[in-house]
Amino acid sequence: MAAVEVRGLRKVYGEVRAVDGLDLTVDEGEVVALLGPNGAGKTTTVEVLEGYRAPDSGSVEVLGFDPQTGGRAFRERIGIVLQEAGFEDTFTPRELVRLHAGYYPHPRAVAEVLTLTGLDEKADARVRTLSGGQRRRLDLALGIVGDPELLFLDEPTTGFDPSARRRAWELVESLRALGATILLTTHYLDEAEHLADRVVVIDHGRVLAEGTPEALAAAAGAATVISFRMPSGLRVADLPGVGHEARVAGSMVEVRTDTPTADVAELATWASGRGIELEALALARPSLEDVYLDLVGEAGAVGEAGAVGEAVDADDGATR
């Protein structure tokens, strides 16, 4: 049985079609990443699955429950890390984790959760004194304390420093190894690539593409990307033949090619003949980022279609 089964989900806010006929399946034990630009409908989708928002139409089944009517029996089996959560500022992380542990029938040990999320040092500090990344760690702690079989993570590592992100990844991997099913959203393509069995790219509330990170990246077309730093004082027009196909990204030059051996040879002959060292020269498979940018466009979803009139406050949106 699938852990999450969504068919034709729609959610409208006034004139904005936040989710517009979305289909999504997450199998038991699978880690799925929802990717998409700001306003794509990721949070709305996840909040419907959590039972925080009522869908306008479509069918939604989560662990066999309708999230709207699943009640406590449903909530005991899921863990939630909201994109934006509010805390009682006067509590400490240890107190909040303990409080949340009390909502679940088989919680993890409070001390273990604080350690897993890197909060030992701040366990007894008032939440109001925590940094942004430390608060986010607390969100994560509250999401996992119930030892849920299904975990929703809405941008779990936004605001994390690089080592905290690595740690969170390890945490997700260990939860997955224990059999948890995880649906996460992220803007970090490396995070999706690293963690997800399957990636679902959405925009304007619809699925644009889905597949394993490798399969999606392969769909980007060319087999190989040659990249190097543009030698100072030179421009694309100065590069040899293959370089004319290049895309310039900041100080880097990227060439997509199906004949990397010949192209690298040409570049190398050209550069060494002029005594130029091609810095940061690298060969790579196209990344998820390449296909993502192809799918949603480099500009993203700025200038939302259909967003007319004032924003309508959700009538059914309950945040904790």
Ligand X SMILES: Nc1ncnc2c1ncn2[C@@H]1O[C@H](COP(=O)(O)OP(=O)(O)OP(=O)(O)O)[C@@H](O)[C@H]1O
Binding site for ligand X (CB under 6 A): 13, 16, 18, 36, 38-44, 83, 304, 307, 311-314, 317
* Residue 304 site contact among ligand X, Mg ion, none (CB < 5 to 8 Å, cut-off depends on kind): ligand X
* Among Mg ion, ligand X, none, residue 168 binds (CB under 5-8 Å by kind): none
Shortest Cβ 211–ligand X spacing (Å): 20
Q: Which is nearer to Mg ion, 160 or 228 (CB)?
A: 160
Closest approach of Mg ion to the CB of residue 83, in Å: 5
User: Which tokens belong to 113?
Assistant: 């959760």
Query: Considering CB distances under 5 to 8 angstroms, the limit depending on partner class, which of Mg ion, ligand X, none binds residue 296?
Result: none
Nearer to Mg ion, 17 or 256 (CB): 17
Q: How many residues does the chain have?
A: 320
Name residue 146's amino acid.
Answer: G
CB of 235 to ligand X, least distance (A): 36
Instruction: Give the span between the Cα atoms of 126 and 105, in whole angstroms.
Output: 27
Closest approach, Cβ 171 to ligand X, in A, equals 21
Structure tokens belonging to residue 254: 């990227």
Q: 283: how many CB neighbours lie within 10 A of its CB?
A: 14
Residue 114 beta carbon to Mg ion: minimum distance, rounded to whole angstroms: 27
Nearer to ligand X, 25 or 83 (CB): 83
DSSP 8-state code for residue 139: H
Q: Residue with structure tokens 């949070």?
A: 43
Would you state the torsion angle of the CA atoms of residues 153, 181, 137, 110, taken in this order, to the nearest 10 degrees?
140
Compare residues 126 and 206 and give the one whose CB is closer to ligand X: 206
From the list ligand X, Mg ion, none, which binds 79 (C-beta under 5 to 8 Å, kind-based)?
none
Nearer Cβ to ligand X, position 64 or 317?
Answer: 317
- Which residue ranges make up the site for Mg ion (CB under 5 A)? 42-43, 83
Residue 253's nearest CA partner among 279, 234, 227 is 227
Interaction partner, residue 312 (Mg ion, ligand X, none; CB < 5-8 Å by kind): ligand X
Gap between the Cα atoms of 204 and 19, Å rounded:
7
Measure the N-to-C terminal CA separation of the chain; round to a whole number of Å. Answer: 30
Q: In whole angstroms, what is the distance from residue 184 CA to residue 80 CA?
A: 10
CB neighbourhood size of 158 (10 A):
16
Place of tokens 């109001």: 128
CB of 14 to ligand X, least distance (A): 6
The site partner of 311 among ligand X, Mg ion, none (C-beta below 5 to 8 Å per kind) is ligand X
* Minimum CB distance to Mg ion smaller for 282 or for 311: 311
